[in-house]
Structures are given as C-alpha cells and as structure tokens.
Structure 1
C-alpha cells in the first residue's frame, strides 16, 4: 500500500466531493468547516485539571457524609 502525502489526500478528497456533490456544493461543504482558534492542548489541560478537582471534591464530600 502506497502512503499518500497530505496534499495528495486533500486533492483526492476534493475530487470525490466534486464528483458526488457537484462543484458548488463541494465548495459549500468545505466552507462549512472552521479550524477554530486558540490552543486546544493548553486549554484541555486546564479543563481536565478543573474537572479532576471537582471530582475529588465530590468524592471527599460524599465520604464525609457517610
């Protein structure tokens, strides 16, 4: 199996979209996606730390009640 470059995959993918959706709808499909913004990895770490702290607090509270 031959490994394709990312650019080759993009070209083939767009060709499939155009073939199946037509040029206008293929472009509309591509435009419907956004890359987002910010640093997901950094933010995720903060979210996980916050969520972990909440979980530990919940467990501690539950143990204290029992």
Structure 2
C-alpha cells in the first residue's frame, strides 16, 4: 500500500473550503482565529493583574457578576 503525501498548502486549502462550505465564512474565520498565537507574556500580565487578589476574592467577583448578568 502506498500513501500519497500532499503538500500542506493543498491540505489547508481543502480544509478551508470544507469549513466554509459547512460553516460559512464568518464561523470559519472565528474557528480558525482560536488557533492563532497571541503575543506578550501572559504569566507576567496575570501576576500584575491579580497581584492583590486571592482565589477567594476572584471567585466572589465572578459570582457577583453572574448575579448582575443572569
């Protein structure tokens, strides 16, 4: 048995075609965007953002937001 290896560009084009056909352009773009690499250093940003917070205080804020926006 022989397996034909297709170029990655060809596979990507075929996959995009199928996604667009099945999901539409907007949902295909939304789906593909979740795999794009971000930028920055999330670890540093998270430490700065939550430096004065505890898990308990973060959970309390989440719960209070849920009560405001049910």
TM-score by length of 1: 0.47
Query: Is the helix fraction higher in 1 or 2?
Result: 1
Larger radius of gyration: 1
TM-score by length of 2: 0.45
